[in-house]
Every structure is written in C-alpha cells, then in structure tokens.
C-alpha cells in the first residue's frame, strides 16, 4: 500500500492547486481524477465559456465595425471551427497542468477516488484493478454537476445543461430558451445573442443575478432588452413539450401568475449546480452532510478525522478561485504555515458584455447588517477609453465607511470589470481607505481611470 502525506480527490482548480502547493511544501502528494485534469472549470465551465464569450464578442464587434469607419463582408460563424478553437484552448491549458504536476512530482491517478475509512482511499481506474492508498490527510475537492430541475419534459431531446451546450457544434440555433437568470444563464444568453441567436430568459426570481447588487441585474436586463433578448422575471416553468413544428420545443410557464408559453429550438437548464462530494465516499463512510453538501468547520475539516473538503463540494459560492484559495489554506495549515489569503474577500465575476464584477459589501448588504455606509457611482460613459471603444451602459460603484473612510465593497459593470475588481479586492483585504486607494496614479486613457474618478467623488 502506497503511503502519502496528502491524497487529493478531484483535479479541478481547488484540487490540483492544493496538490501543487502541498508538493511544493514537501508533502508527498497524490491526486486522483476520474475525468480530465482541470475539472469542471477547465473542461466544462470557466475556460470554455470564456473562450466562446471572447469569440462571440469579436463577432459582435465586427458586425458593428461600421461605427469605426471599417467594413466587413461575408462574416459568418462556423460552429465546428468555433468548437475546435474552444477545445484547443482547453487542451493547451490541460497540458500545462499536467506538466506542472509532473515537475512537482505529484503522483496522478486516473480513476474514481473513494474514501473507505479515515486515512484510506481506494482508487478505481476505468480499466479495473483497484488499488489502496494510505493518507495522513485527505482533501475532497469533488466539485459539482449541473442541476436538472423536476420539470416535466426536462429529458426531451434539445433540452441541455451547460455541459451539453458546451459540446454543441451543430448548426446555430434560431431560438435558445434559457431557464435561469443566474451567472450561467446570463453568460450563455450573452454569448448566443452576440452570435445572432434569438434568446429568451425565464427567471423565477424578481430579477437577474439575484445574489448580486440589484442595480447590476437591473442594468443587465435593460441592455439585454436593447439587444433583443427577451427577459421574463417572476416566471415559473410548468412544463417542456415537443412543439407542433418538428425539432422545436414548447415551454409552458406562468409569469407573475399569468399563464404563457414560448417556443425554442433548444433549451438550456441553468438553475444551479449540485455538490458531488458524497460521491467520494464509500457506502457507510460519508461524513456529516446537508442537502448533498459536505459540512466542514472553519478549517474545512469534515466530521471524519483527517478528511477535509473544499470548493463546490461544500456549497456556498461556487467559484473556481474560491476553491483554489480554500485548498491552499488547508494545505498551508497542514504544513504549519499561515494561510496567506483572506477567504472573506472573494470577487464574483460575470462574463457578459459588458462584464460584471463585485467584491465586498453592497450598500444594501451593509445596511442589512446595521452598518452606516455611503456609496458613490461613476458612469463609465464619461470614461475616454469607454467612449473610443464604443462601450454601452456601465458604471463603477464603491461602498465605504463614512467615518473611517475604509473601502468596504465595489460593484462594476463595464469593460474589463473582471480585471479591475482586483484593485478593490486588494484594498478591502488590506483595510485601505478611499484616500489611500485614490493615491495611485492610473494611466490615461484606460478603463482603470474610472476607479480614480469614483474614489475622488467620495
């Protein structure tokens, strides 16, 4: 039986980064993955969707290039070539992970990893021939899978989760129905609308991106409508059925209590993701859990001795960078090191057009906690880089303590918002005041000048 200081189950960003960190700190480490290196993020999530978003953004920009005095003829989308670009991007990054693991001497096992007892893991390779590993510590980073709601007709051909839609390389859809107005739903809506597909969004809650600042969802809804995307909030899906027209689907729903229906060529189910952590344990061995998510303490320890869990497997914010930070925190604690990361300052990013990002507190969240705050907003329509690149509606908002002047949060909806939000995350993590953050000179003309402008208005 092979013995390890740490065995990691799941090679997504949380798992493989934890394995690399552990090996770098001198721990003998094994990593088990039943599918591809990189997990959902690399293979069925972050990277392929952002590759499609990049291509779709270029397509939309070229279609509108007349405003810049340019012209393009016979522009078209080749779905097969688009799929090949997406896949080549994934494979390049996957190869990079494999090389890093090899360089750090992490032992990689292909197969399912099952915790059979504290300090024991069984690896079940797809070709058979299980082997047993002994581990001083075990880290479960098993991720999550797309949730399929109990809607009649959810199993019909043409009804897909994000996994299946990312694999699609057939002809473009005339109409795509997106059930769910959260991050996954609005990102795919943005991509397909840019590629020329008619998009309909049905969201059961009262607004898009309900877990973020209300203004972000409201502004996105306005932009979507301007681009021809139909957005129905307060809409509950009753059933999906084959339409009278061959190959199409009909969706019956109620919107604010009023029955309605719509047709589509394909349906995306984007109603969240289900944790997969319990699947990493043999029958009768699983630790404490709640609704499928593994329960952990502040150190990410489960109720089983020596077994830790992170990322989507424990619920909460399902973000690749959060899973990575949690994995690093576990490993560094096992090695007797300080965590080095603020796990309570986590940026959230949405890759629509324009991008959306948020970190720290919104004004509503602060007030709900009884905190006296102020907020200021700068419209990016006044930003030189935004004007010359033809950006649409956008803003940067900062939330701060009026007494101590500390930056408490920020919400952005503008070009490069997912890059700019890091400045605010750094400020919050280090307790910077508005004045300290404003002290930096930001170059002109850049989108980052919007940060200076909003801070100067505080």
pLDDT in tens, the chain (458 residues): 799 999 999 999 999 999 999 999 999 999 999 999 999 999 999 999 999 999 999 999 999 999 999 998 889 999 999 999 999 999 999 999 999 999 999 999 999 999 999 899 999 998 888 999 999 999 999 999 999 999 999 999 999 999 999 988 888 899 999 999 999 999 999 999 999 999 999 999 999 999 999 999 999 999 999 999 999 999 999 999 998 788 799 999 999 889 999 999 999 999 999 999 999 999 999 999 999 999 999 999 999 999 999 999 999 999 999 999 999 999 999 999 988 899 999 999 999 999 999 999 999 999 999 999 999 999 999 999 999 999 988 999 999 999 999 999 999 999 999 999 999 999 999 999 999 999 999 999 999 999 999 999 99
Nearest in space to 211 (alpha carbons), one of 427, 362, 342, 46? 362
User: CB under 8 Å to 128, separation ≥6 — which residues?
Assistant: none
Cis-peptide into 354, omega within 30 deg: yes
CA distance 391 to 401: 31
Task: Give the max Cα distance, the chain.
Answer: 69
**CA–centroid distance for 67 within its chain:** 33
pLDDT for 450: 97
User: Measured in whole angstroms, how far is the alpha carbon of residue 20 from the centre of its chain?
Assistant: 22
Determine the pLDDT at residue 434: 97
- CB-CB contact of 428 with 360 (8 Å): yes
Alpha carbons 92 and 110: distance in angstroms, whole number: 19
Q: Please tell me the predicted confidence (pLDDT) of residue 129.
A: 83
Q: Beta strands 175-179 and 198-203: pairing type? A: parallel
CA 241 to chain centre: 30
Angstrom distance (rounded) from CA 339 to CA 328:
7
Q: How far apart are CA 141 and CA 135, in angstroms?
A: 15
Both tokens of residue 391?
């950006």
Nearest to 290 by CA among 316, 263, 327, 320: 316
Gyration radius of the chain's alpha carbons: 23
Specify the pLDDT at position 1.
78
State the pairing for strand pair 131-140/249-255: unpaired
Q: What is the pLDDT of residue 246?
A: 80
Q: Measured between alpha carbons, how far is 449 from 133 in angstroms, rounded to an integer? A: 53
Q: How many Cβ atoms sit within 10 Å of the Cβ of residue 370?
A: 6
pLDDT at 271: 95
CA distance 172 to 226: 22
Q: How far is CA 408 from the centre of its chain?
A: 23
Of 395, 306, 390, give the one whose Cα is nearest residue 358.
395
CA distance 17 to 23: 10
Burial class (CB within 10 angstroms; exposed 0-12, middle 13-18, buried 19+) of 155: exposed
Asked if 54 is an active-site residue, the reply is no
Active-site residue identified among 119, 232, 321, 444: 444
Question: What is the residue whose two structure tokens read 């949690």?
Answer: 326
Angstrom distance (rounded) from CA 332 to CA 338:
6
């Amino acid at each position: 039986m092979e013995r390890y200081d740490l065995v990691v189950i799941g090679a997504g960003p949380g798992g493989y980064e934890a394995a690399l960190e552990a090996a770098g700190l001198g721990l003998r480490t094994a990593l088990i993955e039943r599918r591809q290196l990189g997990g959902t993020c690399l293979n069925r999530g972050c990277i392929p969707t952002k590759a499609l978003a990049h291509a779709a953004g270029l397509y939309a920009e070229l279609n509108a290039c007349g405003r810049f005095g340019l012209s393009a003829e016979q522009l078209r989308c080749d779905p097969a070539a688009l799929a090949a670009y997406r896949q080549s991007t994934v494979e390049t990054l996957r190869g990079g992970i494999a090389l890093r693991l090899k360089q750090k001497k992490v032992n990689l096992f292909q197969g399912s990893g099952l915790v059979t007892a504290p300090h024991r893991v069984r690896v079940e390779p797809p070709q058979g021939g299980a082997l047993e590993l002994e581990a001083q510590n075990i880290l479960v980073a098993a991720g999550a899978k797309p949730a399929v709601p109990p809607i009649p007709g959810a199993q019909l051909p043409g009804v897909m989760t994000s996994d299946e839609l990312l694999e699609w390389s057939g002809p473009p859809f005339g109409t795509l129905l997106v059930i769910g107005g959260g991050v996954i739903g609005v990102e795919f809506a943005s991509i397909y609308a840019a590629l020329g597909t008619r998009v309909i969004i049905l969201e059961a809650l009262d607004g898009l991106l309900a877990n973020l600042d209300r203004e972000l969802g409201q502004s996105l809804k306005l932009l979507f409508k301007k681009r021809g995307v139909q957005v129905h909030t307060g809409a509950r899906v009753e059933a999906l059925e084959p339409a009278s027209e061959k190959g199409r689907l009909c969706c019956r729903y109620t919107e604010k209590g009023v029955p309605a229906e719509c047709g589509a060529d394909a349906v995306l189910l984007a109603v969240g993701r289900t944790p997969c952590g319990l699947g990493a344990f043999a029958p009768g061995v699983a630790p404490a859990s709640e609704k499928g998510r593994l329960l952990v303490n502040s150190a990410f320890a489960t109720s089983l001795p020596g077994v830790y869990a992170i990322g989507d497997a424990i619920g909460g914010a399902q973000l690749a960078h959060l899973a990575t930070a949690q994995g690093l925190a576990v490993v560094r604690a096992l090695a007797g090191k300080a965590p080095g990361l603020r796990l309570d300052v986590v940026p959230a990013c949405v890759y629509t057009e324009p991008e959306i990002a948020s970190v720290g507190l919104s004004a509503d969240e602060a007030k709900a906690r009884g905190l006296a705050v102020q907020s200021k907003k700068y419209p990016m329509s006044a930003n030189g880089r935004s004007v010359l690149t033809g950006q649409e509606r956008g803003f940067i908002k900062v939330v701060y303590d009026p007494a101590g002047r500390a930056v408490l949060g920020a919400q952005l909806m503008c070009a490069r918002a997912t890059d700019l939000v890091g400045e605010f995350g750094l400020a919050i993590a280090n307790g910077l005041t508005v004045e300290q953050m404003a002290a930096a000179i930001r170059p002109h003309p850049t989108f980052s000048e919007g940060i200076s402008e909003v801070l100067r208005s505080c």
